Amino acid sequence: MNENERQTISVNLKINSVNHALQIEPRVSLLDALREFAGLTGTKKGCNQGACGACTVLVDGTRINSCFALAVQYEGRDITTIEGLAEDGELHALQSAFIEHDGFQCGYCTPGQICSAVGMFKEFQRGLPSAVSETMTGEIEFSDEEIKERMSGNLCRCGAYVGITEAIHEAFDAEVKR
């Protein structure tokens, strides 16, 4: 066994419905596993400290900061990254809405914003209240105020927040009304 093999372990990750067998050190974060070992660079590193949301991915539909997670913890889970949101080349409604409403400028925070918003909407649908919700148990209105509050873990230094909020509102409003 060479030095390298003694230090690494094999980790199987299911990313966007595809299995990836990675040979990595146990200390590799999920973010670095995606970017440096699985070749999926759509997910971005902004701070590597859990403070910016650029690295947001979905694990079994729940949003997490992948820089704050070790890859080994996520064996057998369903990981969705920005590369996995479009289906058969057809953009997710939110991706189209981001383009239409100019919900980005440089685009660096965008993969995180979009994955985060998909996870956020699931939380909203489950009835999870936020700090600005009027009620802890009743019906919450899908308002701009709710969106802004729930999306405040995703920083955008370009300041594309106006478009981000508009895009999220439009993309999910139809579903709320259903």
Partner 1 sequence: MSNEIGKPLSRLDGRPKVTGAARYTADTPIEGLTYAVFATSTIPHGRVTKLDVSKAEVAPGVLKVLTHLNTPKLKPIQHPPAGQSLMPLQDDRILYEGQPVALVVADTWERARHAADLVRVEYARAPFLMDFTEHLDKAVTVKGFFEPDSKTGDFDRAFNSAPVKLKQNYHLADRHHNAMEPHATIAAWRRGKLDMYDTVQGVFVARTVIAQALGRKPADVRVRSKYLGGGYGCKGFVWPHQILAAVAAREVRRPVKLVLTRAQDYTSHGYQAATEQTVTLAAGRDGQLVALRHESVAPGSMSDDYVEYGAIASRTMYACPALETRHRIVRVNRGPGTPMRAPQEGPSMFGLECAMDELAVVLKMDPVELRLKNYAERDPTKGKPFSSKKLRECYSEGAQRFGWERRNPKPGSMREGHDLIGWGMASALMETYRFPATARVTLERGGTVLIESGTQEIGTGVYTIMPQIAADVLGVAPERVRLVLGDTTLPGAGMTAGSSTTMGVGSAVHDAATKLKQKLTEMAGGPIAPDAYADLLKRRRLEKLSAEGLWKPDGEAGTGESKEWTMYTFGAVFVEVRVDESLRVPRLARCVGVYSAGRIINPKTARSQMTGGMIWGLGQALLEHTELELNYGRYVAKDLANYLVPVNADVPDLEAYFVDEVDEHASPIGAKGIGELGAVGVSAAIANAVYHATGVRVRDLPITVEKLL
> Where along the sequence are the contacts to ligand FES (CB under 6 A)?
45-48, 50-55, 65, 67, 104-110, 156-158, 160
159 touching partner 1, by CB under 8 A: yes
How many C-beta atoms surround the C-beta of residue 110 within 10 A? 23
40 touching partner 1, by CB under 8 A: yes
Whichever of 45 and 101 has its CB closer to ligand FES, that residue is: 45
Q: In the bound complex, what is the minimum distance in angstroms from residue 123's beta carbon to ligand FES?
A: 18
For the chain, what is the radius of gyration of the CA atoms?
Answer: 17
How far is it, in rounded angstroms, from Cα 86 to Cα 67?
23
Residue ranges of the alpha helices (H) in the chain? 3-7, 30-32, 93-100, 110-125, 144-150, 161-177
66 touching partner 1, by CB under 8 A: no
Distance from the first to the final alpha carbon of the chain: 59
Whichever of 27 and 157 has its CB closer to ligand FES, that residue is: 157
How far is it, in rounded angstroms, from Cα 159 to Cα 174?
26
Among 86, 127, 143, 175, which residue sits at the site for partner 1 (rule: CB under 8 A)?
86
Q: In the bound complex, what is the minimum distance in angstroms from residue 169's beta carbon to partner 1?
A: 12
CA nearest to 33, candidates 17, 51, 49, 55: 55
Name the site residues for partner 1 (rule: CB under 8 A).
3-4, 7, 25, 27-28, 32, 35-36, 39-52, 54, 81-83, 85-86, 91, 95-96, 98-100, 102, 104-111, 114, 132, 147-149, 151-165
